[in-house]
């Protein structure tokens, strides 16, 4: 799929990886739709894109854990474009603590954003994707959705395992309709997501941390080539397996 002139929805687009994806795909000629909760941050990213494209993108304030707000977001996109080419489910959170120390409320919040948020967006936007008789859905997972090498990622990993399983099944469901479904499983990324971790939480060392612009480039290639699953970087999965055995 060519990126130019494609309508691409990006959740969690107000900062971090979502912002970098939006800027990168805008440079490639896409019509990006920025979705997040903070209007102020979305507006700032929109202004950055306007400098690139000379056109302010559609921004939609939406809590992806709310079915009503997701329905409202879908209505706005339908009114503006009438269809969707690509959906990138990037919104997510992660608190790294052992499950005994995570409250039930925090556990539910992880699932609401990391899994249910993606599910709600797919269900709501799929009719607009189907109008193209083609399209692509990309779920941003994690290496922790394949292997759990550390004791403090159990809840976060559970949400990413769920997302990975759903992605595999959804791919089979939508293949006959010409819609591709991909899963990106990156290691730690140098974004505010890392900066927000508490002092007691483990942070990835610099040499294991990916830069957001590199990840955005990989995402563009996934869209172009209708990729199924990509682990980034590939060698880190082997490292995690070794760590898991040693622990």
Domain residues for the domain of 13 are 7-246
Distances in Å between the Cα of 17 and the Cα atoms of 69, 166, 198 are 22, 22, 20
Tell me if 115 is assigned to some domain: yes
Distance between CA atoms of 105 and 109, rounded to whole angstroms? 6
- The number of domains in the chain is 1
Distance between CA atoms of 247 and 243, rounded to whole angstroms? 6
Q: Report the pLDDT value the prediction gives residue 166, as an integer from 0 to 100.
A: 98
The mean pLDDT of 142-170, rounded to a whole number, is 93
Distances in Å between the Cα of 111 and the Cα atoms of 27, 40, 65, 96, 164 are 33, 26, 9, 14, 13
pLDDT digits (tens, 9 = 90+) for 203-235: 666 657 899 999 999 999 999 999 999 999 888
Tell me if 179 is assigned to some domain: yes
Tell me if 175 is assigned to some domain: yes
pLDDT digits (tens, 9 = 90+) for 56-112: 999 999 999 999 999 999 999 999 999 999 999 999 999 999 999 999 999 999 999
Region of residue 29 (phi > 0: left; psi between -120 and 50: alpha; otherwise: beta): left
Q: What is the largest CA-CA distance in the chain?
A: 54
DSSP state of 150: S
Match 């919104």 to its residue by tokens: 91
Q: Report the pLDDT value the prediction gives residue 8, as an integer from 0 to 100.
A: 98
Tell me if 2 is assigned to some domain: no
List of residues 6+ apart from 97 with CB closer than 8 A: 152, 200, 201
Which CATH number characterizes residue 230's domain?
Answer: 3.40.50.720
Distances in Å between the Cα of 198 and the Cα atoms of 100, 143, 149, 153, 245 are 17, 21, 20, 14, 27
Paired residues of 51 in beta bridges: none
List the structure tokens of 202: 């483990």
* Active-site annotation holder among 119, 120, 136, 156: 156
Tell me if 183 is assigned to some domain: yes
Tell me if 239 is assigned to some domain: yes
Q: Report the pLDDT value the prediction gives residue 244, as an integer from 0 to 100.
A: 75
Contact call for residues 91 and 36 (beta carbons, < 8 A)? yes
List the structure tokens of 87: 């959906």
Nearest to 186 by CA among 73, 92, 113: 92
Q: Report the pLDDT value the prediction gives residue 199, as an integer from 0 to 100.
A: 54
Check if 116 is active-site. no
Distance between CA atoms of 59 and 39, rounded to whole angstroms? 8
In this structure, of 28-32, 47-51, 240-244, the range with the lowest mean pLDDT score is: 240-244
Could you tell me the pTM of the whole model? 0.92
Half-sphere exposure for 91 (CA within 13 Å, toward CB): 32
Tell me if 1 is assigned to some domain: no
């Amino acid at each position: 799929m060519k990126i130019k002139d494609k309508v691409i929805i990006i959740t969690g687009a107000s900062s971090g990886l979502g912002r970098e994806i939006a800027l990168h795909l805008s440079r490639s000629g896409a019509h990006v739709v920025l979705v997040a909760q903070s209007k102020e941050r979305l507006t700032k990213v929109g202004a950055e894109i306007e400098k690139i494209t000379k056109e302010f993108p559609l921004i939609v304030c939406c809590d992806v854990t709310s079915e009503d707000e997701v329905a409202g977001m879908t209505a706005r996109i339908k009114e503006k474009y009438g269809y969707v080419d690509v959906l990138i489910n990037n919104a997510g959170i992660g608190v790294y603590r052992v499950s005994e120390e995570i409250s039930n409320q925090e556990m539910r919040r992880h699932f609401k954003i990391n899994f249910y948020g993606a599910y709600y967006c797919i269900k709501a936007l799929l009719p607009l994707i189907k109008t193209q008789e083609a399209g692509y859905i990309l779920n941003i997972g994690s290496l922790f959705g394949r292997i759990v090498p550390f004791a403090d990622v159990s809840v976060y990993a559970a949400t990413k395992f769920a997302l990975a399983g759903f992605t595999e099944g959804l791919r089979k469901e939508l293949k006959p309709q010409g819609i591709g479904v991909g899963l990106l499983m990156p290691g730690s990324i140098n974004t505010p997501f890392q900066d927000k971790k508490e002092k007691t939480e483990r942070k990835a060392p610099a040499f294991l941390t990916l830069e957001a612009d590199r990840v955005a480039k990989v995402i563009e290639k996934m869209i172009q080539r209708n990729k199924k699953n990509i682990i980034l970087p590939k060698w880190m999965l082997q490292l995690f397996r070794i760590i898991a055995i040693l622990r």
